[in-house]
Amino acid sequence: MLEVGAHWGYVIAAYAVTVAVLGALAAFSMIASRRARRELEALEPRRYGEERR
């Protein structure tokens, strides 16, 4: 019985680690895309500001 409980503990821990890693990757990609968009707007403000209208 102890082995089964330990097994499910490992499964839950692995799931929690997976969710945490995926959440960190999603947050990092959002931050990186915002930063890249800001840099592009700073380099070429006309393309992103005036031509949209």
Q: Could you tell me the residue ranges of all domains in the chain?
A: 17-53
Whole-number pLDDT of residue 50:
57
Whole-number pLDDT of residue 1:
52
pLDDT of the chain along its 53 residues, tens only?
556 667 888 999 999 999 999 999 999 999 999 888 888 888 876 766 555 54
Identify the helix (H) or strand (E) that includes residue 47. Answer: helix 45-48
